[in-house]
Structure 1
């Protein structure tokens, strides 16, 4: 990406992402006005700071890895040629719109997630519990997993990995936006799917299928079925700190106080943890075989963790997997159609103007 014209062509190629983001913004503004939902801009500011911290983090990780791998004779000259050329700086400029969209999506839909009780009741849990038991011969999913993962040190490790998921939201999207190793077609499919996942899976479907999950089934709905699971998690937390236990207490307190700040809100079905993992897996497998394998197994671990740590029913992850796969396929169709639209000033070569995966 050596000229401003190439930046403009990238923006034109990503135009459906921007249109969809604006449509989501219009819907959100309407909901805020219609239901008198307050929103603190500090949440968006914090999210923007975090995502650009992720971009800076990518720079340092990339430069350290390549210094170790390539061992250039003149590191300063090498770094200048790689990171401070006109092409590299224009790539950063070209990445700003999608990074801003990602930064704003998270707190906005976190706010709406906290407001689900304004739109509907949490009345799906009993159904999901019954469906899951029907599929697992009368058992809950956590009971099936417990003999393998029900050890405090294992639970604590899974909880750490479950929290590391947040790096995908800030560091991960920065890598997809900025890295020259990401194919341009994969990049734009990723960001359209990302916006659609937050709005459709984390917004529309979360409201339609409103549920609280095993951890909150008893305190919010009076369903005591998962008390043994919570007893185990609290006991495990006394042996080895389990990061999710105090977070779950914080979420329950936020729900009781109608707190809609960043990271608050309760919603089990579908799982956004799994939705984001599926999206990264779908993008990674089109970029690198090794990256595809890594993100597949990370998705599996997070799915197991979502059940073992009592956040979700196993069905929550399954629905997210199917929904994001359909969204990804839809994004492919959108850009196939969009590429038939003539680019002002000349046809952009969106499929060949890329850097091969490294």
Structure 2
């Protein structure tokens, strides 16, 4: 997938998302306009990031003679527009999923988690580890660092990477992380996650989860406020506002994994940092109660498997070219 194809794909994805919303939900117009408003409000930040990356790209191109200034600027603009359309389309579809199917898969994921962790609940394990970890720092990465990198990755590829095969490969992983994992597999295993389990299904299985957070700092408080807001928006506004509830699989972990893969592809020396990055996002996704552990495991397995296939395909194509 080239940058030009990414732009066309993003526009097409947004149009399909709007069509799906109008087919499955009564408040489609409100939901679509809200998601577009969210993206429009983020455009100034997106343009600032694009300007910064373009500046860096121009310097790199001048030194290594990899791209012309015009190519760098045009590619950054195309990637920015494609990213805006792509993210708007994702939000529209994600918040429309409960109108296609009801949430149903949580009890199954609870059982799978217990089997995988020898009878223990992963969130309990993560909270027992929490006293030994810099949780507020990890919460900042989960809350702010992940989102920034997730949004700007296509723009960074457009401006700072001259390896066409690698850019195409990472863009395919990027689109797959959001669409296949965040939309298609999410619909196949529609779930609310541990933090909302008791409120949705009844009972008190996860009653100790919110109360067992360690003393909450500013970043964790933002996460807790966001969780409560998501529930209010789901119960009172039909997910027409906000980013919606959906646990399985984890887009957080899938995007973190592809970022880790990209770092490794740029330099094998970055592999330890990449592993720590993915582990931190996986850990916080479980600790906060947004996700079951299987959500992250499935995302890692899918992204790594797809990457191995794409890399083998590209190496084979290079041999015969």
Query: Which one has a bigger Cα radius of gyration?
Result: 1
2:14 and 2:90 in contact (8 A); partners too: no
Distance 1:138 1:190 in 2: 37
Instruction: Say whether 1:218 aligns with 2:198.
Output: yes
8 Å CA contact retained: 2:198, 2:207: yes
1:115 corresponding residue in structure 2:
96
- Give the alignment of 1:279-294 within 5 angstroms: 279-294=258-273
Change (3 A) 1:132 1:255: same
Q: Distance in 1 between matches of 2:291 and 2:7?
A: 32
Match for 2:126 among 123, 133, 145? Answer: 145
Preserved contact between residue 48 and residue 104 of structure 1 (Cα < 8 Å): no
Kept after mapping to 1: 8 A contact 2:3/2:78? no
Deviation at 1:304, TM superposition (A): 0.5
Q: 1:119 to 1:301 in 2, by over 3 A?
A: same
- Tell me: CA distance 1:130–1:122, structure 2 relative to 1, closer, same or farther (3 Å): same
Pair 329,100 (structure 1): closer, same or farther in 2 beyond 3 Å: farther
The alpha-carbon deviation at position 29 of structure 1 amounts to 3.8
Q: Return the offset for 1:327.
A: 3.3
User: How far off its partner does 1:236 sit?
Assistant: 2.4
Show the 5 A alignment for 1:148-163. 148-150=129-131, 154-163=134-143
Runs of 4+ aligned residues of structure 1 deviating over 6 Å after TM superposition are 333-340
Counterpart contact for 2:264–2:270, Cα < 8 Å: yes
Q: Distance in 2 between matches of 1:229 and 1:201?
A: 26
**2:286 matched residue in structure 1:** 307
User: Could you tell me how far apart the structure 1 residues matched to 2:181 and 2:220 are?
Assistant: 31
- Report 1:235-274 matches (<5 A): 236-237=215-216, 242-256=221-235, 257-261=237-241, 263-274=242-253
* Change in 2 beyond 3 A, CA 1:185/1:26: same
Ranges in structure 1 where 5+ consecutive residues have no aligned partner? 1-10, 64-77, 341-350, 352-358
Which aligned pairs between 1:50-199 and structure 2 lie closer than 5 A? 50-58=45-53, 62=56, 87-150=68-131, 154-163=134-143, 164-180=145-161, 182-199=162-179
Q: Is residue 21–residue 96 contact of structure 2 (8 Å, CA) maintained in 1?
A: no
Deviation readout 1:57-84 (Å, 9 max, x if unpaired): 4357x49xxxxxxxxxxxxxx899669x
Distance in 2, matches of 1:185 and 1:80, equals 18
Does the aligned pair in 2 maintain the 1:254–1:264 contact within 8 Å?
A: no
Partner of 1:67: none
Any idea what the Cα deviations from partners look like across 1:178-213, whole Å, max 9, x if unmatched? Answer: 114x52211111112211221111011111100111
The alpha carbon displacement at 1:14 in A equals: 5.2
The whole-number CA distance in structure 1 between the counterparts of 2:167 and 2:218 is: 43
- Paired with 2:306 and 2:254, the residues of 1 have a C-alpha distance of 10
Deviations 1:86-131 (A, max 9, x none): 8223212133333322222222211221222101111111111011
Q: Which has the higher helix share?
A: 2
SS of 1:115's equivalent in the other structure is: helix
1:223-259 superposed Cα distances (whole Å, 9 cap, x missing partner): 42111111122x6227995331111111111212223
Question: Which digits, 9 at most, give the CA deviation of each residue in 1:260-300, with x for residues without a partner?
Answer: 34x52011100000010111112221111233432221111
Q: Secondary structure at the match of 1:224?
A: coil
Counterpart position of 1:344: none
Aligned residues: 311
**Residue equivalent to 2:23:** 34
